[in-house]
Chains A and B, each alone.
Chain A
Amino acid sequence: GDSVTQMEGPVTLSEEAFLTINCTYTATGYPSLFWYVQYPGEGLQLLLKATKADDKGSNKGFEATYRKETTSFHLEKGSVQVSDSAVYFCALKSLGYQKVTFGTGTKLQVIP
């Protein structure tokens, strides 16, 4: 079945540091890939997505590229801010299905 593996947290960075959160997946066919973000006390919201190989999703300075050859969708940001402190979830949705498979989440803390 489908599965998503993302790096363990928590991740603590200083403001303006470079961020990478690794995500790899297992799925049949060509899934759509997502990054969701959850701020404290809130529900999840979509950060970015990619629907086919080599697509790059981007939003709010975050980027992730759909790499089919390595089955990966790593999240990156060049310069994090304190306001980026949140939990980040990698997720996939297989073609023809509506169910979404989530990773376990990575908590990011950015300190001034």
Chain B
Amino acid sequence: NAGVTQTPKFQVLKTGQSMTLQCAQDMNHEYMSWYRQDPGMGLRLIHYSVGAGITDQGEVPNGYNVSRSTTEDFPLRLLSAAPSQTSVYFCASTGQGAPGNEQFFGPGTRLTVL
């Protein structure tokens, strides 16, 4: 199993540009989520999905869109990039069932918006 994969690893954008961060998992997990990590702020939830066709907002959803057309893929779209979106983005997935099920994280995408 590859686990959770993310592409690209690094990206530089100009203000106003749009792009999609890709995330895929091969563990047949129902729950997937996107976080951003900023210094001193831990991980903040952007959007999450409890299954194909179902998405919901986390605590910092503004400026981001998501969709979940398949169980495997959960792309994050930046509609019009802003310098405040400079961050490290992590995708994670969790299997259903036991309350102690852990989250599996991807390696992250480091995004810089100029």
Q: Which of chain B's residues 38-74 have a Cβ closer than 8 Å to chain A? A: 40-43, 45, 48, 50, 58
Taking the complex as formed, is B90 at the interface, i.e. its CB lies under 8 A from any CB of chain A? yes
Contacts of A43 in B (CB 8 A): 4, 90, 105-108
Determine the main DSSP class of B at the interface with A.
loop
Q: Which of chain A's residues 29-84 have a Cβ closer than 8 Å to chain B? A: 32, 34, 36, 42-46, 49-51
Give the size range of A's interface with the partner: 20 to 34
Taking the complex as formed, is A28 at the interface, i.e. its CB lies under 8 A from any CB of chain B? no
Q: How many residues of B contact A (CB 8 A)?
A: 24
- Which residue from chain B places its CB closest to the CB of A43 in the assembled complex? B105
Are A93 and B99 in touch, CB under 8 angstroms? yes
Contacts of B41 in A (CB 8 A): 104
Determine the main DSSP class of A at the interface with B.
strand
Are B33 and A49 in touch, CB under 8 angstroms? no
- Which residue from chain A places its CB closest to the CB of B58 in the assembled complex? A99
Q: A94 CA to B31 CA in the complex, in Å?
A: 15
- Which residue from chain A places its CB closest to the CB of B41 in the assembled complex? A104
Contacts of A50 in B (CB 8 A): 100
Contacts of B31 in A (CB 8 A): 98
Contacts of A100 in B (CB 8 A): 33, 94, 103
- A interface with B by C-beta (< 8 Å): 32, 34, 36, 42-46, 49-51, 89, 93, 95-96, 98-100, 102-105
Task: Supply 17 A–B pairs (Cβ within 8 Å), ascending by A.
Answer: A43-B90, A43-B105, A43-B107, A44-B43, A44-B105, A49-B102, A51-B99, A96-B99, A98-B31, A98-B48, A98-B50, A99-B33, A99-B58, A100-B103, A102-B42, A102-B43, A103-B42
